[in-house]
């Protein structure tokens, strides 16, 4: 179980949050223009990285706001917390 540093509420128990999977997945701008394979890649494929992952969390039993987290999926250590729409921070596991 992690202690997560909500950008608005500070460090809170993981039970107050929910993880919503990989961050930085952009919907194709012109869905009609992409192939079935590209669309499938957008909808279904995930990096599922063993190592540093960039993912979305929501503080649903707190301020109910969304933010991004960089986490090492081997040790489960959280390496950075940053705002939605922000750039991926450079981190080392």
Partner 1 sequence: MPGYSAFTLVRNALSYHENWQRAWRSPEPRPEYDILVIGGGGHGLATAYYLAREHGINNVAVLEKGWIGGGNTGRNTTIVRSNYLWDESAAIYEHSLKLWEGLSQELNFNVMFSQRGVMNLAHNLHDWRELNRRVHAIRLNGIDSEILNARQVKEEAPILNVSRDSRYPIIGASMQRRGGTARHDAVAWGYARGADARGVDIIQNCEVTGFVIDNGKVAGVETTRGRIKAGRIGVVVAGHSSVLAEMAGFRMPVESNPLQALVSDPIKPVLDCVVMSSAVHVYVSQSDRGEFVIGAGSDAHVSYSQRGSFDIIEGIMGALCELVPMVSRMKLMRQWGGIVDVTPDRSPIIGKTPVEGLFINCAWGTGGFKSTPGSGHAFAATLAAGEPNDMAGPFTLDRFRTGFLIDEAGAAAVAH
Sites of contact with Zn ion (CB under 5 A): 6, 8-9, 59, 62-63
19 touches partner 1 by CB under 8 A:
yes
Give me the count of residues in the chain: 93
In the complex, minimum distance from the CB of residue 86 to partner 1, in angstroms, rounded to a whole number? 20
36 touches partner 1 by CB under 8 A:
yes
In the complex, minimum distance from the CB of residue 76 to partner 1, in angstroms, rounded to a whole number? 5
49 touches partner 1 by CB under 8 A:
yes
Name the residue nearer to partner 1 (CB basis): 36 or 90: 36
3-state secondary structure (DSSP) of residue 56: strand
The token pair that represents 93 in the structure block: 């596991």
Alpha carbon distance 6, 27 (integer Å): 26
Residue 30 interacting entry, from Zn ion, partner 1, none, C-beta within 5 to 8 Å by type = none
3-state secondary structure (DSSP) of residue 67: strand
Closest CA to 70 of 88, 86, 48, 85: 88
């Amino acid at each position: 179980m992690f202690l997560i540093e909500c950008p608005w509420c500070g460090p809170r128990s993981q039970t107050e949050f929910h993880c919503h999977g990989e961050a930085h997945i952009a919907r194709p701008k012109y869905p009609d223009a992409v192939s079935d394979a590209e669309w499938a890649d957008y909808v279904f494929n995930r990096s599922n990285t063993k190592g540093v992952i960039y993912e979305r969390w929501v503080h649903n039993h707190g301020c109910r706001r969304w933010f991004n987290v960089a986490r090492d999926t081997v040790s489960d250590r959280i390496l950075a917390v940053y705002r939605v729409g922000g750039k991926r921070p450079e981190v080392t596991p």
